[in-house]
Amino acid sequence: MRTQVGIVGAGPAGLLLSHLLHRAGIDSVVLECRSREYVEHRIRAGVLEQGSVDLLRRSGLGERLDREGLRHEGIELRFGGAAHRIAMTELTGRAITVYGQQEVVKDLIAARTAVGGDLRFEVEDVRLDGLDSDAPVIRYRHQGRDEELHCDFVAGCDGSHGVSRPSVPAGVLTEYDRSYPFAWLGILAAAPPATEELIYAHHERGFALYSMRSPEISRLYLQVDPETDIAQWPDERIWAELRTRLETVPGWTLNTGPILEKSVTGMRSLVVEPMRWRRLFLAGDAVHIVPPTGAKGMNLALADVTLLGDAFAAWYREGRDDLLDAYSDTALRRVWRAQHFSWWMTSLLHRLRTDDPYEAKLQLSTLRYVTSSRAYATSLAENYVGLPEV
């Protein structure tokens, strides 16, 4: 079988790329190792930057997003027993929208299937060959049969554990990374959010985040040890710890309810350069990872494939390769801005090392500064709502 662009991975990156290529008249096939049901219900990110919302709307994907997405014009930083609002829209003119990643994925799958898009779920043993030739081949197994997908280009959108990046010969790519001595325990709860805006709480026992998915569903996170065994966290312990870290403002209480899902996610920063090798183009988590504190992961994935979609369109329509050649450098400018912001937010808000009171004092001073200086608050806000490449 033949297509123009073979895409590995049906996360936000691979699905949006396939959708944008279709709109530009370019054929693609998406190969995904999980089932459709699985990818449509995988609970992950929840915050869309203004630019991501504009892009989804422009691409014909705004209908349910506009109906169900929650537009937020500020966030709260909570520390030292007080609430401090960062007025994002007042400071930047832009806003964020809370809309679950799995909803973006559902909308994209619906849009692709509505026009007969070729998405293959539950494929196995994906291998990339001929990436340094003009005729790459993706080999895989599907429904018990060995298959070959011949294409002009391969887009590696298969996330942090995919096969695309490891298919590049050793010595070609450079990795820049950072690990953190903590993880997030996340829950989804059938409880109306006790707050209209997201609360990022800095507490001596560790970071906590109050987010949401709808007027009935709350999404909350706790900083925990990376070795945490979720079995040691029965629901009552989770709520008690959330209360300790969040109920620090007089008169404020959180709402509890049945916990629908809970999981522990490790935290890491990683950038792999360049984001291209010959006929393989890497996008999203396949080539960079951020800790979740700045809510940038999904937004970066969407931004990468927007560039890639335009670059493929220029190649197929006009025979131009300048945008394909510029893809990695252009994308990396946004990637590194988000790397810095995510690292900064993570370092500012988490409990760092128990034995270093100096660092804790610096955090508090920075928190006071960012919540009292319009200049510093504007810097946080413009990064949070999303900057163009800088």
Choose the catalytic residue: 99, 200, 210, 327: 200
Nearer to ligand FAD, 106 or 364 (CB): 106
Give the three-state DSSP class for 113: helix
Cα separation, 82 vs 175, in Å, equals: 40
Q: Whole-angstrom Cα distance, residue 43 to residue 41?
A: 6
Give me the residue label for tokens 């935290």. 267
Given the residues 292, 316, 327, 350, select the one marked as catalytic: 292
Using the contact rule CB under 6 A, the part of the chain among 111-119, 227-235, 296-304, 359-367 near ligand FAD is: 296-304
Active-site residue flag, 210? no
Instruction: State the greatest distance between any 2 C-alpha atoms of the chain, in Å, as a whole number.
Output: 65
118 has which bridge partners?
29
Active site residue 296: yes
Query: Could you say which residues in the range 104-163 bind ligand FAD, by CB under 6 A?
Result: 123, 126, 157-159, 161-163
Distance (Å, rounded) from C-alpha 363 to C-alpha 207? 12
In terms of CB distance, is 32 or 103 closer to ligand FAD? 32
The 3-class SS string of 145-180 reads: EEEEEECCEEEECCCCCCCCHHHCCCCCCEEEEEEE
Q: Considering the complex, state which of residue 292 and residue 386 has its C-beta at the smaller distance from ligand FAD.
A: 292
CB of 207 to ligand DHB, least distance (A): 10
Q: Which is nearer to ligand DHB, 79 or 316 (CB)?
A: 79
* Segment near ligand FAD (CB under 6 A); pick from 10-18, 53-61, 68-76, 174-182: 10-18
Q: Is 41 tagged catalytic? A: no
Least Cβ distance, residue 105 to ligand FAD (angstroms): 8
| Catalytic option among 19, 22, 296, 350 | 296
30, β-bridge pairs = 7, 119
Helix (H/G/I), strand (E/B), else coil: 239: helix
Q: Which listed residue (44, 71, 85, 142) binds ligand FAD by CB under 6 A?
A: 44
Nearest to 96 by CA among 200, 239, 178: 200
Of 56 and 298, nearer to ligand FAD (C-beta) is 298
> Does 101 participate in binding ligand FAD (rule CB under 6 A)?
yes
Q: Which of 371, 333, 367 is nearest to 347 (CA)?
A: 367
384 belongs to the catalytic site = yes
| Cα separation, 338 vs 318, whole angstroms | 32
Report residue 83 as tokens.
Answer: 């609430």
Residue with tokens 């997003």: 65
Partner that binds at residue 33, options ligand DHB, ligand FAD, none, CB closer than 5 to 8 Å by kind = ligand FAD
β-pair type (174-189, 259-273): antiparallel
Pick one of ligand FAD, ligand DHB, none as the site partner of residue 386 (Cβ within 5 to 8 A by kind).
none
Nearer to ligand DHB, 244 or 265 (CB): 265
Which listed residue (223, 293, 328, 330) binds ligand DHB by CB under 6 A?
293
Residue nearest to ligand DHB (CB): 46
For residue 179, how many other CB atoms are within 10 A of its CB?
A: 12
Site for ligand DHB in 188-227 (CB under 6 A): 198, 209, 211, 219
Residues noted as catalytic: 72, 200, 292, 296, 384
